[in-house]
Chains A and B, each alone.
Chain A
Amino acid sequence: MKVLALFNIKGGVGKTASAINFAFLAAREGRRTLLWDLDPQGASTFTFRIATKVRGGGDRLVSDGSALDAAIRGSDFERLDVLPSDVSYRDLGAALASDGDAGERLRALVAPLADDYDLLVLDCAPGLSTLSEAVFATADALLVPTIPTTFSLRTLAQLMKQLKHRPRRPLTLPFFTLVDRRKAQHRSVCDWVDAQGLGFLRASIPYSALVELMGRERAPLLVYAPGSPPGLAYVELWREIQGRIELGEAGSLAWSRPARDSIEQVIRPRAVRPTNGEAR
């Protein structure tokens, strides 16, 4: 099982949107995927129409081996499950650290998931914390969505400095999100990063109101707008990520292309309630 974490010290950069769409793509390709919403805000849990509640909270997840398994919920999409968020996750880092090393504890906690899943996607809360340290020690790769501004690059540099001296360091893959090429700063930052060869992924996610509609549609962007510019950009980005990380093995795929239905052909029928109003 591979572990990918979506992380940035800054908030509002597109971590959740990216986590949701990458997890969706992985599942569409046939990988058994689990998305763990580690952010107490619970946006990805909400998007998948799942209650942001874990019985016993984060403490119980850490102390009781079976609680994590019992908390998982299937999404509407084949092969994609969600480990919901809970408001108690604000103390999850402390709970992990109570027994010793938080990173070791988190690794031990997620290890049994490999029996059921090929990919674990972690949608992380912003900010540096004990929990984020544990994520760094657990993830195989850290995907860092970054808005193309000077301040964002500075924050990214702070993150890289934090990671630099760690004994166990995930592969770090920054990529640009919310890119608005009409803005001079966005253009100049993107061009500068490109010229400097700083290891950013080549594809980027354009700013689009369609992405924000995920909260209203309560579905991945790739379900309701698969052929849109951000939708196609997510597909391209996902392909690029797979080129950088070996996601094969563990009972599933050797491919990176969509399986039976292409993304562009996803049809999501609308929900229908009984006309007599007697829904159960």
Chain B
Amino acid sequence: MDRAKKLFALASLEELREPGRLLRSAFATRVHPRRVERVLYLDTFDRRLADAGGELEAVEAPDGHELSWRREEAPTMVARARVLPAFRDDLPPGALRRELETRIERRRLMEIARVERATEALDVLDDAEKTVVRVELVERRAREPGAPAEDGWRSLPPVVALRPVRGYDEWRERVERFLRAELGLVPHERGELADALAALGHAASADERAPLAPTTSALDALRAVLRQRLGSLRENEEGVVQDLDPEFLHDLRIAIRWTRVLLRRFRRVLPEPFAEHFAGEFRWLGRACGPTRDLDVLLERLDEHERSRDDAYPPPLAPLREFLVRERAREFAELVLALRSERYRTLVASWAELLERDPGALDPDSPAARPILEVASRCAWRSYKRLLRRGERLGPGSSAERFHALRIRGKTLRYVVESFRELYPPDEIERALRDLRRLQTALGALNDCEGQIALLENAANALSAEGRAAAETLIAIGRLAGRLEERRASQRERSIRRLRRLARRAGRERFRALFRDPGKPP
């Protein structure tokens, strides 16, 4: 339907007059009045849509917004929305929603940038005065979302956009050849959002960093990966404090846990006193985040349970919900205090300073100077063997502590492997990670069950002691706990099955080839 437009950048606004003048002198044309439009670019905080190679635009319209989802080599999808969508359920039903909802999942859509375009549009016509090419001469500027109205605008390169009309590709090619010959235009490959983010000083994607080489020193490689985790922590911080979306806290915790794992497994690579100090500080931060997250997950489970009910009576679990919401508010307030504390600010600033600091010449015999492929592989291989040892003689009746210890081992291995996956053959590393992720998913679900059962017991005791739980509420809590216990049992079985898969011969050989003998042909 809407063929992708082709952009050509110009060096200055003064040059923007030339294409129109030249086209009017050479072709039959129709000139449209200048129009100004404000465009909001939306994405999740972790830039899922950018990572999918697309841009989601929302253009203000009298009664809402026109949404456009653009990806290279694919037709643009459009939809109209009365309100700016914040979550997938806000997207209007249709093809665009189906396209986006699996990408954004439960993540909130946020404004990433605002762009204002002033466009002079000109149609090139054939002998029948039919529009065969649409040309747009576009002056653009961008600002941060939420910035004061007229402050903070940054100019973007003005562009000439050729918008083909379906079935008239030859005309588009003719006009392009003409403009290139007359003006020496060169294609502008970067999309408007990337232009805006560059002008505003942001990375286009959450995971942007320079690739690692196998011979990069272990210290440099580790610092690069830790800087990424720090970036993730900083990106999620404000979303947590403003309580925009529970997933901000989820990803903040991942950034913290990942950092802690790398600090522990590679402590001999980092300068010693620092590794110990920061390990302690990140442990403090991790503990500050835990209770709120656990309550978020339980509240979500409660919501799912309530949605599946089908009666008009006040839900018996309402007192439980109220209790959990109060507890959550209390824990969240503690969390915000922690994130706003001097201790946190010092942690982030000093950690950033350490990671940015040039380490200078390294002792060639030190672990820090060894090639990262060697150091990461040795660490991954050891972590894999430890995981398997932890899993030996594990059965459905094993204690919760044993499963928890297995989960920690699995997380360690996964973070080590994920941190340096680019050093390994992509297909093989993906197979290794796939089995590992499946194990961790089951162990994570099991861990959630354990935590939620404990929370429910505490809640039931507290409500009972306060005299605020009628019999039906306690019975309903009991039923919910019962369901969780069933789920716990099945997740234990599942975890054991997946561990056995990881430990079977093919898995062992894969891990051996990847990490014990890296670089050797299979």
Contacts and interface: CB of A to CB of B under 8 A. Distances in A.
Interface string A58-100: 0000000000001111111001010000000000000000000
Contacts of A215: none
Contacts of A71: 167
Interface string B75-86: 101111010000
A255 B63 contact: yes
Interface in A38-60: 48-50
Interface string B152-177: 00000000000001111000001000
A195 B315 CA distance: 53
A259 B125 contact: no
Interface stretch (B23-31, B272-280, B395-403): B23-31
A274 interface: yes
Contacts of B96: 251
A238 to B, nearest CB: 17
B166 A250 contact: no
A276 B25 contact: yes
B94 A249 contact: yes
A269 B31 contact: yes
A116 interface: yes
Contact count band on B? 35 or more
Given A72-B166, A271-B28, A279-B28, A254 B80 contact: yes
Given A49-B130, A257-B63, A116 B1 contact: yes
Q: Classify the interface of chain A: helix, strand, loop or mixed.
A: loop
A63 B411 CA distance: 57
Contact of B94 (A76, A251, A272): A251
A60 to B, nearest CB: 16
Contacts of B1: 32, 79, 81, 116-117
A118 to B, nearest CB: 8
A183 interface: no
Nearest to B92: A254
A278 B1 CA distance: 32
B31 A280 contact: no
B30 A248 contact: no
A250 B94 contact: yes
Contacts of B25: 274, 276
22 contacts: A30-B78, A32-B78, A49-B130, A72-B166, A73-B165, A76-B123, A76-B131, A81-B1, A81-B166, A249-B94, A250-B95, A251-B78, A251-B96, A251-B97, A253-B92, A259-B62, A259-B80, A260-B61, A269-B31, A272-B28, A272-B29, A276-B25
Interface of B: 1-2, 24-33, 61-63, 66, 75, 77-80, 82, 92-97, 123, 125-131, 165-168, 174, 178
Given A254-B82, A254-B93, 13 more contacts: A30-B66, A49-B130, A72-B167, A73-B168, A74-B165, A115-B95, A118-B94, A253-B79, A254-B92, A259-B61, A259-B62, A260-B61, A276-B25
